[in-house]
Amino acid sequence: MAKIKVKTPMVEMDGDEMTRVIWALIKERLVLPFLDIDLKYYDLGLKKRDGTDDAITMEAASAIRKYGVGVKCATITPDAGRIREYGLKKCWPSPNGTIRSALDGTVFRKPIMVRNISPAVRNWKRPIIIGRHAYGDIYAGVEMTIDAPGKVELVYTTDEGRESRLLVHGFESPGVVMAIHNLERSIRSFAVSCITCALDERIDLWFSMKDTISKTYHAYFKEIFGREAAARKADFERAGINYRYLLIDDAAAQMMKQEGGILWAVSNYDGDVFSDVIAAGFGSLGMMTSVLVSPDGLYEFEAAHGTVRRHYYEHLKGNPTSTNPVASIFAWTGAIKKRGELDGTAAVQAFGEKVEKAVIACIEAGVVTKDLVPLMDPKPAGSLTTEEFIDAVAARLV
């Protein structure tokens, strides 16, 4: 079978542990046999990031700016234990956070629904999309441990030398402090991206913060988002959809009662939390798509879960694992479809769609990895290893 030619290169970012193993299998068995594609490869594995003082992460982000579309494997964000385990120079930041800050925009996460997996929340019938702001907050926070009595102040000094001060806290005993920030242009692009997505999908848009407590920081988000939504009021009416602002706790409670078909826009940290809640509610973190969309039309597709550390240790022992590769496969197919769309190559787009249909057909036929078995009705007789599942998908592509 002749390979399909992909016109423009695509950026590939490798990752860590079990997802790195899965990544190689997907590329070897589901991508390269079918596509003639130039992949600009960046190894974002933890050892490589440490060896380059994390410069490779920014190089990958720059490559996405050049080529427009990237696909990223799950990576480790190290803690103190990982520093010891890998012998790292320092506790490097999240590569996802670094790339998101470099590209700005919004992360959209959407559950992959199949007929034989019912959501854990019985009311949910249609997908709930999380629109997560991708810049700032605690992911660009500055932190300090306080080890002696004293005071912490927030100080703003203009370029002309004018100074404003706010007391954060007067410490009489040890503690900890953090400063976070955001940018008006980033918040505005977040709002515009979410409004555009809601209109494209023709689903209601909810936006949630906690401005009753954070009367400046969160209220700033609410005001900008509200102005952007008001400017598109006529478009909302034509699409037959609505915009609502809700406090984050109220939205979380009300979401349990909805049937879905909602784009829920939330802050960076809330998006981190609630995208996992939504994924688990619909079945599994392994059944979730994730794409970063920048305001200037750049796209980075990724797996929405971690590196599956426990399975990796079993893999190193030579034991077979049944790790769900669906989110990683859909990261590849999402990027392939977008590359085809931007290049105007229908055959490339169609191939991405073909792979996704093959994955869903396998699951709906009971051909699944071990994690999905308890979620299914009816339950299949058994499960496959990761390699067996990928091979079953590949067999449907021939």
Q: What is the DSSP string of 103-142?
A: H-SEEEEEE---TTB--SSTT--S-EEEEEE-S-GGGG-E
Q: Which domains does the chain have, with CATH numbers?
A: 1-107+293-398 (3.40.718.10), 118-139+182-282 (3.90.190), 142-179 (no CATH)
| Residue-level pLDDT at 339 | 98
Task: In the chain, count H helices and then E strands.
Answer: 14, 16
Does a cis peptide bond (omega within 30 degrees of 0) precede residue 78? no
| Residue-level pLDDT at 100 | 86
Amino acid at 284: S
| Residue-level pLDDT at 97 | 86
Q: End-to-end CA distance of the chain: give it in Å, rounded.
A: 8
**What's the CA dihedral at 7, 9, 10, 15 to 10 degrees?**
140
| Residue-level pLDDT at 352 | 98
Q: Measure the CA–CA gap between 230 and 243, rounded to whole angstroms.
A: 9
Radius of gyration of the chain (CA): 22
Residue 303, classed as helix, strand or coil, is strand
42's tokens: 């960046």
What does the pLDDT profile of the chain (398 residues) look like in tens digits?
Answer: 689 999 999 999 999 999 999 999 999 999 999 999 999 999 999 999 999 999 999 999 999 999 999 999 999 999 999 999 999 999 999 999 899 889 887 999 999 999 999 898 989 999 999 999 988 899 889 999 999 999 999 999 999 999 999 999 999 999 999 999 999 999 999 999 999 999 989 999 999 999 999 999 999 999 999 999 999 999 999 999 999 999 999 999 999 999 999 999 999 999 999 999 999 899 887 899 999 988 888 999 998 888 999 999 999 999 999 999 999 999 999 999 999 999 999 999 999 999 999 999 999 999 999 999 999 989 998 999 999 999 999 999 98
Q: Measure the CA–CA gap between 136 and 181, rounded to whole angstroms.
A: 6
181's tokens: 């920030």
Residue with tokens 């077979």: 320
Q: Chain centroid to CA 283: how far?
A: 17
The answer to whether 36 and 5 have CB atoms below 8 angstroms apart is: yes
List Cβ neighbours of 40 (8 Å cut-off, separation of 6 or more): 9, 10, 11, 12, 63, 67
Q: Measure the CA–CA gap between 324 and 367, rounded to whole angstroms.
A: 12
List Cβ neighbours of 306 (8 Å cut-off, separation of 6 or more): 19, 74
